[in-house]
Amino acid sequence: MAKKRRPTMKDVAAHAGVSLSTVSYVVNDSGPVASDRRSRVLDAIRILNYTPNESARSLKRRSASTIGLILPELANQYFALVAEGIERAASDADVLVVLCVPQATGKSDDFYAQLLRSQRLDGVVYLSATGTLPSLILELSRSGAVVLVDEQMPGFELPAVVSDNRRGAREIAQHVIEAGHRQIALIGGPAPLWSADQRLAGYREALAAAGQDPDEVPFFGGDYRQRAGYEQAAKALEVAPADRPTALICANDLMAFGALEYCRASGIAVPSELSIVGFDDIPTASLVTPRLTTVRQPAHDLGFAAARLLFSLIDDEGEATPPMPFPTALMVRDSVAPPR
């Protein structure tokens, strides 16, 4: 039985009785071709069920029409949502998205730079949850187009798409303060991360505006993961009753969930005994009990915009201007009550 080879342009050309270039012209609409010959070619394509070999195209065009998406984990819905936004923008542009989850795969940092340099990827959208060493990102941005999402490398001005973390943080802290809380504790994100830094700054602004000394309010460092929320909540709450905070401001929803979990485990009623707020407004936030008061980030839009920015970077090759920070929105739900 004959090995069934996929048809190539040559086959199409032969079948249609035209030259190779004519076929190419009709496939790419890149040259003039008489309408009768065009339809002959189109027919041949249909009959042979021809599909261009993209490897050959990439080789010739020096571009893979593929981008990479590097993110810490998929299980965090915030990332999943950003990914969906990117997917949409990419598919609009007929670009493929390669998923890279360093944590799950244990790939070394420069593996991703290799990927970019090997021209399998035209660019990369990078999300960090750990404030990754600039070394990777730097090497990446040296090798090709990179855009960051909700992240920024202080020294080097890399293209990024961000939302207004500072303002969102300020507003939710204000909300907590307006509910009457004076004993507030903060559970922050990973120190080196820009978003963590911005959120913290926002909280402090609100605190200061309300006449509290931000340096006096207890701060606990987390890493955006649920476990950290649990552990830091424990630290924050296992203190003399008089010092015990009446409200816990968590730098993201996942950590707020962890705090909630701790409270459930140790019989602390939320929000009557303790108010808790988060950040991100992932879908689960309105599903937990009590429904979590948080700050909505337009995850989907961030992803979409990041991909667009990356594309313009890739083909304009010139600097494209990042969009303005995306607005955030305070989502008032049930996890905040006046202190008693």
Q: How far is the CB of 318 from DNA (least distance, A)?
A: 20
SS3 content of the chain, % helix, strand, coil (to 5): 45, 15, 40
Q: Which of 14, 37, 268, 290 is the binder for DNA (CB under 7 A)?
A: 37
Q: How far is the CB of 94 from DNA (least distance, A)?
A: 13
- Binding residues for a second copy restricted to 278-337, rule: CB under 8 A: 283-284, 287-289
What values do phi and psi take at 68, rounded to 5?
A: -105, 150
Report the SS3 class of residue 252: coil
Q: Tokens 């950290």 map to which residue? A: 228
Residues 6+ apart with CB under 8 A from 6: 51, 53
47 contributes a contact to a second copy by CB under 8 A: no
What values do phi and psi take at 214, rounded to 5?
A: -55, -30
Give the helix ranges, DSSP H, for 93-164.
102-105, 109-117, 134-143
**For residue 211, how far is the Cα from the chain centroid?**
35
Quick one: what does residue 97 bind among DNA, a second copy, none, with the CB cut-off 5 to 8 Å set by partner type?
a second copy
- Binding residues for DNA restricted to 55-114, rule: CB under 7 A: 56-57, 59-62
> Of the two residues 26 and 207, which places its CB atom closer to a second copy in the complex?
26
- Binding residues for a second copy restricted to 60-99, rule: CB under 8 A: 64, 66, 69, 73-75, 77, 80-81, 83-84, 87-88, 90-92, 96-99
Distance, in Å, from the CA atom of 82 to the CA atom of 131, rounded to the nearest integer, reads 18
Q: With contact defined as beta carbons under 8 Å apart, do 137 and 153 qualify? A: yes
Using CB under 7 A, list all residues that contact DNA: 5-6, 8-10, 18-22, 24-25, 27-28, 30-34, 37, 50-53, 56-57, 59-62
Using CB under 8 A, list all residues that contact a second copy: 6, 49, 51-56, 58-59, 64, 66, 69, 73-75, 77, 80-81, 83-84, 87-88, 90-92, 96-101, 104-107, 114-115, 117-120, 257, 260-261, 264, 283-284, 287-289
